[in-house]
Amino acid sequence: MGKPEAPGLYRHPTRSEIIEQAALEGHDADIPSNVGSLHQVPSHTIDAQLDPCHPSAPDPEKGVAESLSSNEAGIGNECEDDPNVVFWDGIDDPENPMNWSALKKWGTVSIVSLLTFLTPLASSMFAPGVPEVMKDFHSTSNMLSSFMVSVYVLGFAFGPSIIAPLSEMYGRLPLYHSCVAFFIVFTVAAAVSTNMTMFIVFRFLMGTFGGAPQVLGGGTIADLISREQRGTAMSVWMMGPTIGPCVGPIIGGFLTVAKGWRWNFWFVAIVTAASFLMALLLMKETSAPIILERKAHRLRTTTGNPKLRSKLASDLSTKDLFRFSIVRPMKMLFRSPICAAISVYIAISYTYLYILFTTFTSVYKTQYHWHGGIVGLSFLGIGIGSLLGQFVFTHFGNRIASRHLEAGTFVPEHRLPVMAAGAVMLPIGFFLYGWSVQYALHFMVPMVGSGFVGFSLLMIFMPGTTYLVDVFTVHAASAMAASTVSRSLCAALVPLSSEKMYAAMGYGWGNSLLGFVALLFTPIPFLFMKFGDRIRASGNVKL
């Protein structure tokens, strides 16, 4: 059992701290994390009158206070005074990942960040080699040429819904190791594929298991790094999903010319395998509920006391954990107007990214006669734009939110001015890119246009995701999961018709169509800025 805690050593976390931690870990705040939970367990699971440590949390989309008493946090004094509750052995307990050495902490963050860079890199790295793949597999289908790139993202729609609840039951480390191992296996399988069916299936499985570092990485950083230092670690980690898909084709363009398209997969497999070996040797479990549950199990074995239990133990059964993880996001996507509107807008923006990924090679070969490794440089504009978008959002988005938080006037809608700016710029980027390509203007002009698109997509995607967290609080992870599923499905399927669209309409009007659709959705952030509080007040999603 944990040693008696000296007064003042531990304070009960606020509601916002619990929600922030849970969102980073990829689960709802009614599941315990390092700082406890806001329990909202169904009546058939727990009798709230008999267990005062587990009160119900409020519904999402309702205005609620930002702090709770210790009892409301699910870690009240009744639980603390119970001698059968197992917790840390004081504030300096070496088992607590927060007490690890700086070298061990940042070494773990570095490995996780590297893995989170490599798996998105694989999503688009071989895009410049698509013509060679089509030639080897004797296919002329434009639909298949697009699908072999975007099918990777389809795996992102399925993998996280299984990986997240499994990590709550077995810890982050087994999921890291098993998913990365499977990712390497299927990457090698894609490299040695002998027909199109094999190749597409293995690409899908690569995406399914490759999503693990993105699902688990935020939670790992939250396990290790204090809130004061977390911003730096999160910025480094988030660059993987932002920069990886844009850097990949640049590397892949030259690698395809030098070694052939299969070496794009061998390269990813080799580098990921080296990272996997480092993870096996250096990474340890960081999830506090799992560490404490193992500690409680050891103590039950050594003391013979079967009543000992972890302070952060979840009362959810395996069945309920999976049910909430899979059913809740779908309920929110179809029953909440806020979740539906923002998720659809994010999905459209994300889809645009993969429309460009699947067509850049053919566009620049046709209009600018780029061949060989040079064609990979066509992705440079959107990559630089995405990177700038991340920096601008981080600076101005946090600045706006901080100002209102200090004044005590913050509402979730204060996340949206940055999103509104991105919404206005997105159609401009497509108009510039499309018509400059149509008339084969200097290649820098469409690069600037695609840079506007990349910048706008990040300005829409990042504040939109943050807005969902702020609105749905306790169930933020389910809202983000709903958004992930919708955007992954759209990004995998919609680009299949992009080549046909360009063939029928030309690059000018084809991209103008995308710009007009983006223009149609431009009012969304403005509408929520004006009416978001009313929509939240009237929302009532029973989860």
Q: What is the predicted pLDDT for the residue at 39?
A: 61
Residues of the chain with CATH 1.20.1250.20: 101-307, 332-543
Helix (H, G, I), strand (E, B) or coil at 310: strand
Residue ranges of alpha helices (H) inside 260-336 are 262-282, 288-303, 318-335
Question: If pLDDT is split at 50, 70 and 90, which confidence band does 475 have?
Answer: confident
In degrees and rounded to multiples of 5, residue 269 shows phi and psi of -65, -40
| Residue 95: count of CB within 10 angstroms of its CB | 14
User: In Å, how far from its chain's centre is CA 321?
Assistant: 20
d(CA 19, CA 411): 15
Helix (H, G, I), strand (E, B) or coil at 510: helix
Report the alpha-carbon angle 133-138-140, nearest 5: 85
Task: Give the CA distances from residue 379 to residues 204, 310, 340, 351, 384, in Å, rounded to whole numbers and listed in that order.
Answer: 23, 50, 31, 16, 9
d(CA 25, CA 38): 14
Q: What is the predicted pLDDT for the residue at 267?
A: 95
d(CA 541, CA 110): 39
What's the N-to-C CA distance of the chain in angstroms? 35
Reply yes or no on domain 101-307 having CATH 1.20.1250.20.
yes
d(CA 325, CA 218): 17
Closest by alpha carbon to 167, among 19, 331, 309, 32?
A: 32
d(CA 533, CA 467): 12
d(CA 261, CA 375): 14
More confident: 135 or 81:
135
In tens, the pLDDT along 23-37 reads 777 777 777 766 677
Q: What does the pLDDT average to over 348-361?
A: 91
In tens, the pLDDT along 412-441 reads 899 899 999 999 999 999 999 999 999 999
d(CA 299, CA 86): 9
d(CA 432, CA 515): 10
Whole-structure pTM value: 0.83
In tens, the pLDDT along 247-286 reads 888 899 899 989 999 999 999 999 999 999 999 999 999 9
Q: What is the predicted pLDDT for the residue at 535?
A: 82
Place of tokens 């080897």: 136
Closest by alpha carbon to 276, among 162, 118, 152?
A: 118
Helix (H, G, I), strand (E, B) or coil at 113: helix
Return the H-helix or E-strand segment holding 30.
none
- Is residue 173 within 8 A of residue 285, CB to CB? The reply is yes
Q: Which of 41-45, 222-226, 232-236, 516-520 has the lowest mean pLDDT?
A: 41-45
In tens, the pLDDT along 47-87 reads 332 333 444 444 444 444 344 433 444 444 444 567 888 88
In degrees and rounded to multiples of 5, residue 223 shows phi and psi of -65, -35
What's the mean pLDDT when you consider all of the chain? 83
Residue 368's contacts (CB-CB under 8 Å, 6 or more residues apart) are: 440, 443
d(CA 267, CA 287): 31
- Is residue 256 within 8 A of residue 264, CB to CB? The reply is yes
Helix (H, G, I), strand (E, B) or coil at 75: coil
Helix (H, G, I), strand (E, B) or coil at 287: coil
DSSP for 413-448 reads GGGHHHHHHHHHHHHHHHHHHHHHHHTT--THHHHH
| Residue 174: count of CB within 10 angstroms of its CB | 14
| 450 pLDDT more than 70 | yes
Q: What is the predicted pLDDT for the residue at 268?
A: 95
Helix (H, G, I), strand (E, B) or coil at 85: strand
Superfamily of domain 332-543: MFS general substrate transporter like domains (1.20.1250.20)
DSSP for 119-176 reads HHHHHHTTGGGHHHHHHHTT---HHHHHHHHHHHHHHHHHHHHHHHHHHHHH-HHHHH
- Is residue 139 within 8 A of residue 199, CB to CB? The reply is no
Q: Which of 265-274, 276-285, 477-486, 500-509 has the lowest mean pLDDT?
A: 477-486
Q: What is the predicted pLDDT for the residue at 52?
A: 36
In tens, the pLDDT along 312-344 reads 887 777 777 777 777 888 888 888 888 888 999
d(CA 521, CA 280): 46
